[in-house]
Structure 1
Amino acid sequence: FFYYSYLDRKEQFSNNPPKIQSSDESFKRYTVATHIIIGIQTGIDIIIVLQLPSNKKLVTKIDHILHRIRNSLLDDENIFTLTLDDENLLENIILTKTYSNILDIQNMKRLYDICRYIKQNQNKTVNYPLSYTLRPIKWLYSTYTGPGNTFIALPVELIDNIEQNIFQLRDDIMKLEISLKQDLPKLLNGYLKERLSDLQKHWLNTKNKYINEIEQLAKLVIDFRSGRIPVQTVHSVLNTQTETLVKTMIHDLTQNLNDLTEKGHFISDLCRQQFRYLNTVEYDIDQTDNEKTIERKLVMNDQPDYILCSTDTLNKLKSEQLRQLRRDAIEKLKNNFNLRLIYADFSYCSFELKNMMILPLNK
């Protein structure tokens, strides 16, 4: 984690309410507002989550650069510069995730760009609030007769429950995002695009549901703090909606992700054995087909092929047969370098393949 905070400006009304009140007699005393902003702080607040490589020597070198960057940011007189070697070392950072009160920084992906932006904008933060100071309207205008400012603190056990459940769900969703947008596409290497797209849509639905639940929970917390609902209502929603529905969606998505990751490793292993992976869905094979029509769709004329047909289920039930068929294929390849080894995957098509099959059928 790399954290940086810089306070550029602090503006606040006088702490003498009567003096302020006498300076403005035009205040509208009847309003739905209960509080007024009397102070604002602007500046830069940023936390950067860095995923470093597993190479310990690289990590040590990157850590030294991070210390130099920190010292440069803390020293107002120091000009922020990095050597080309420093920049190249920082390119070894696997993942950079930024959280900040400045939107421009959140969209940056390179640590060097983020730090350079910070250095260049340390004294230009008028549009970047860090915090506000609130006071009840009655504190400022003693004659105010509008709504009260009831505030009930959340019980400690409820706060712990929210942090334990909501934050864990958020972490799970973020980990799934990395897997589905970076790790899995790289592993699949262009295969099973439709399956990957379906999982990414499932993830987006899960994320939107999570955000919706958080917004509902936030409203309930506000209602409780204002004295409009009992604490049991918040507990009930937290334990039923968020705990059950979103967790179930995450569990299902994780299981599907693991299955597709396993398939990705299986395809990579096939490629190492010089097999070409083929998804039969892309060849319009369905429940109306039979062995002969499947052969016509998959076998190319005058092309020596060894097509191993199977499914994920058959592979698990008959793993030894699968290994033997793959060994047979490799032996045939040694005797015929023009032979094409193909694995035809029937896992996703509507045709029910009851047993492993080798095409062409007359071989």
Structure 2
Amino acid sequence: MHSLTETITRTAIDISGRVGSLYDGWRDQILGTLDINTMKTSTIRSRSLLCKVQKYDMNKSPNLAQMIGIEDELRLSTLVNFVPKIGLSSIIDYPYSINKYTRCFRYHYLDRKEHLFNDQNQIEKWNKTSMPDNSATHMITEISFGIDIVVILQLPPHDKLVNDIDTALEKIQHHLQNSLENMIIASDVERLFDQILFTTVYSNIPKLVQIEKFLDLCHNLNQLKKNPTDCELLKYRLTPIKWFFLEYTGDVTQYFPLESEFRDIFENDLLQSSIVLKQACSRLDENTRRFLQKHLALQLLEVHQLYSQGKIYHEDVIQRLQSLIITIRSGQEIDVDIGQIFRNEPHLQAKADMISELQRQEFEYCNAADCGIQDGDDQTIIEQKLTQYKPSPQSGKVVVVQDGPYNYTEVRGKNEYTTGHRTLCFKIEQLNGWSLFGIISKSSPLQEHSYSSPSCYGWYNGDYFVYRNGQSVGGQGHDAVENDIVNLTIDCDHRLIRLINERTNRTLELLVDIDKCPFPWQLHLNLNLAPTRIRILS
């Protein structure tokens, strides 16, 4: 009889498993399937449901895969590429930062379980010579079916909207948890949820990932769970292979999980290095739009070099860990220094520091594609192409938001304003998400959520998006859309700013409290999602 204390559970990332499938616990991979026709199986209906909404602590960087219940060993196998990042496990690569405006919606419905009978008489029927000749450590003896959905919602940075959305989310959660009826969604709730910046869906059911709107997803969940054929694999229960070959006297492949201390070190370091590489890649990847500052060309080349070193280091660490993890899980003696595996970790931090420093400096950009810079160009070739590049004199400076892990991007002008007035002209060539036009005091530190700085004055697009002293004070935000031209007047003498949309002729004005926003002032933009492209005309 096999003991539950020796069985283990795994989230069904690879959905090819069946009762009787062999499992390689060293690498968390499904192998072949044994003939289980001589063994009895049974199906048990469960129909249990968990539905909840979670907020996040700003002081912590949550491990999303851990929070949704992906097992410790399976997360590590995913990080070292034993297991593909698909389905629920792809949440490990969630590309955006987590903050107080992030919500996690979880819907976990268990429909049924199918399992092998734990019968000693049946086990003895197995032929001792049929021991599988592979690296199987376990057999799948139970599988569960159901619906597992995780939705990450990024709410707008507006306290009233956030409170309204949170109230609606609580009602949706209560309905889905306690009612079997299809949910009826009012039009005002639909308009409210249209304000959500972006929605990212992870699920064990591929067709659900394709649904773009959160409310559309919720509307169909009760109907979906009524049809068992719509349910997909949730979990595997794995039983040691030795329990099915009691008379076998040869070597048996065994499995030993990592000690939690080692596992936590490996996971935390891999997650950190992966985050840093994503941040660097979002700015330096040749396949995305990136920009170079002419008078910081050498520093940017250094960033490229540091990124390349970091990428090589990360891949080297993964290879070393793959070997080490198999050694530990197979019960062999460890003959390596764990600390040496992460010997080059300072390279990652140095790269992150360099990127952060470049973000804090003023940039006059040129497009790498326009320069003819290609993947594989060495330092000398890049320098030559940068030297030869001459931007069109008709082109104004351009501010662009790229794809990357950040929710917001602060942009400041180079000039400082203390007296007189100056009008700046912008053309919105592309717009996605939120865009703030305004001013900020030079003394305020740069930050991702710069709209919350006490010296921020300006307008986001949409209703209730007037910002004064870093707080949303209600009122009408700007109405600019793609191809609009807007003029921002900075009037130091009268201590006010004015925004005019040339298309609609709408004029917005804000009086500035210089105790909150002391001179000198600077142009201040805060942009949200890619693709956003704003050209400074004058």
- TM-score strictly above 0.5: yes
1:173-212 equivalences in 2 (<5 Å):
210=314
User: In the alignment, does 2:226 pair up with 1:137?
Assistant: no
Q: Once the 2 structures are TM-superposed, how far is the Cα of residue 132 of structure 1 from its aligned partner?
A: 0.8
> Rg larger in 1 or in 2?
1
Cα gap change, 1:27/1:57 in structure 2, threshold over 3 Å: closer, same or farther? farther
Q: 1:13 aligns with which of 116, 135, 140?
A: 116
Q: Once the 2 structures are TM-superposed, how far is the Cα of residue 251 of structure 1 from its aligned partner?
A: 4.8
| Distance in 1 separating the partners of 2:283 and 2:184 | 34
Q: 2:155 aligns with which of 42, 45, 52?
A: 52
Cα gap change, 1:84/1:323 in structure 2, threshold over 3 Å: closer, same or farther? closer
Q: Percent identity?
A: 26
| Amino acid corresponding to residue 58 of structure 1 in structure 2 | L
Deviations 1:267-308 (A, max 9, x none): 8xxxxxxxxx999x77x997589xxxx8xx9779xxxxxx99
| Partner residue, 1:273 | none
User: In the alignment, does 2:142 pair up with 1:28?
Assistant: no
Cα gap change, 1:220/1:209 in structure 2, threshold over 3 Å: closer, same or farther? same
| Distance in 2 separating the partners of 1:72 and 1:203 | 48
User: In the alignment, does 2:172 pair up with 1:69?
Assistant: yes
Q: Once the 2 structures are TM-superposed, how far is the Cα of residue 80 of structure 1 from its aligned partner?
A: 2.2
Secondary structure of residue in 1 paired with 2:151 = strand
| Distance in 1 separating the partners of 2:142 and 2:392 | 72
Indicate if the aligned counterparts of 2:145 and 2:232 stay in contact, CA closer than 8 A.
yes
Cα gap change, 1:299/1:6 in structure 2, threshold over 3 Å: closer, same or farther? closer
| Amino acid corresponding to residue 72 of structure 1 in structure 2 | H
Cα gap change, 1:250/1:114 in structure 2, threshold over 3 Å: closer, same or farther? farther
Q: 2:189 aligns with which of 86, 94, 119?
A: 86
Cα gap change, 1:173/1:61 in structure 2, threshold over 3 Å: closer, same or farther? farther
Q: Once the 2 structures are TM-superposed, how far is the Cα of residue 14 of structure 1 from its aligned partner?
A: 1.1
Which one has a larger percent helix, Structure 1 or Structure 2?
Answer: 1
| Partner residue, 1:157 | 261
Indicate if the aligned counterparts of 1:176 and 1:254 stay in contact, CA closer than 8 A.
no
User: In the alignment, does 2:326 pair up with 1:222?
Assistant: yes
Secondary structure of residue in 2 paired with 1:88 = helix
| Partner residue, 1:315 | none
**Unmatched 5+ stretches in structure 2:** 1-103, 372-383, 398-413, 424-538
Cα gap change, 1:208/1:217 in structure 2, threshold over 3 Å: closer, same or farther? same
Cα gap change, 1:251/1:287 in structure 2, threshold over 3 Å: closer, same or farther? closer
Indicate if the aligned counterparts of 1:53 and 1:94 stay in contact, CA closer than 8 A.
yes
Which one has a larger percent strand, Structure 1 or Structure 2?
Answer: 2
Q: 4+ residue stretches of structure 1 with deviation over 6 A?
A: 175-181, 202-209, 297-300
Indicate if the aligned counterparts of 2:310 and 2:347 stay in contact, CA closer than 8 A.
no
CA-based RMSD: 4.9
| Distance in 1 separating the partners of 2:307 and 2:113 | 41
| Distance in 1 separating the partners of 2:177 and 2:110 | 12
| Distance in 2 separating the partners of 1:113 and 1:208 | 42
| Distance in 1 separating the partners of 2:161 and 2:215 | 17
Indicate if the aligned counterparts of 2:147 and 2:231 stay in contact, CA closer than 8 A.
no
Secondary structure of residue in 1 paired with 2:130 = coil
Cα gap change, 1:218/1:298 in structure 2, threshold over 3 Å: closer, same or farther? closer
| Distance in 2 separating the partners of 1:226 and 1:278 | 51
User: In the alignment, does 2:343 pair up with 1:240?
Assistant: yes
What is the total number of aligned residue pairs between the two structures?
277
Cα gap change, 1:165/1:94 in structure 2, threshold over 3 Å: closer, same or farther? same
| Distance in 1 separating the partners of 2:167 and 2:327 | 49
| Distance in 1 separating the partners of 2:117 and 2:338 | 38
Indicate if the aligned counterparts of 2:131 and 2:248 stay in contact, CA closer than 8 A.
yes
Q: Once the 2 structures are TM-superposed, how far is the Cα of residue 42 of structure 1 from its aligned partner?
A: 1.6
| Amino acid corresponding to residue 75 of structure 1 in structure 2 | N
Secondary structure of residue in 1 paired with 2:343 = helix
Deviations 1:3-49 (A, max 9, x none): 22111111111122332442x55972242223211111121223222
| Distance in 2 separating the partners of 1:278 and 1:149 | 55
| Distance in 2 separating the partners of 1:142 and 1:217 | 33
Cα gap change, 1:262/1:82 in structure 2, threshold over 3 Å: closer, same or farther? farther
